[in-house]
Amino acid sequence: MQRVVPDASVLLKWVLPGDRELHREQALELRKAVAAGRVEVRVPALWYFEVGNTLARKYPQDARGRLADLRAFRLMEIAMGRREEEQILRLTGTFAVTFYDASYHALAIVNDGVFVTADEKYLQAVAGEPNLLHLKDWH
């Protein structure tokens, strides 16, 4: 089974209105694959805080329900260990990306998965690194 590490940019597309979300179709295809059990999702615990922050600030009236919808997917939260930390520090040091963004990518690297993101800035910064996929390229 394919392992996927979606970041907040992808997870938000699972629950936000479609008219404003670029590459939402691909995000929904990934969501369907997760729901059908064809894809295993792993995330760092910080996903909840990143997604929750956006929902609470931009959609306060719907934040609770949208967070509940995401929790219903029973995303597998992985504690960061020494191997993940090594990768996070390598990515942040080499490419000057945030520790937060690198956490998702490192989790994919260590767990032989693919980090799926719609974050253009991150993708450009780490171009050529393994275990990385732009959401628009999700099949």
Quote the pLDDT of residue 19: 65
pTM comes to 0.93
Write down the domain spans for the chain: 2-137
Average pLDDT across the chain, whole number: 94
> Which tokens sit at 121?
């800035």
Q: Which architecture does CATH list for 2-137?
A: 3-Layer(aba) Sandwich (3.40)
- A 10 A CB-CB count for 98 gives 14
Quote the pLDDT of residue 93: 98
Q: Which residues contact 85 (CB under 8 A, 6 or more apart)?
A: 106
Those residues of the chain that have pLDDT short of 50 are none
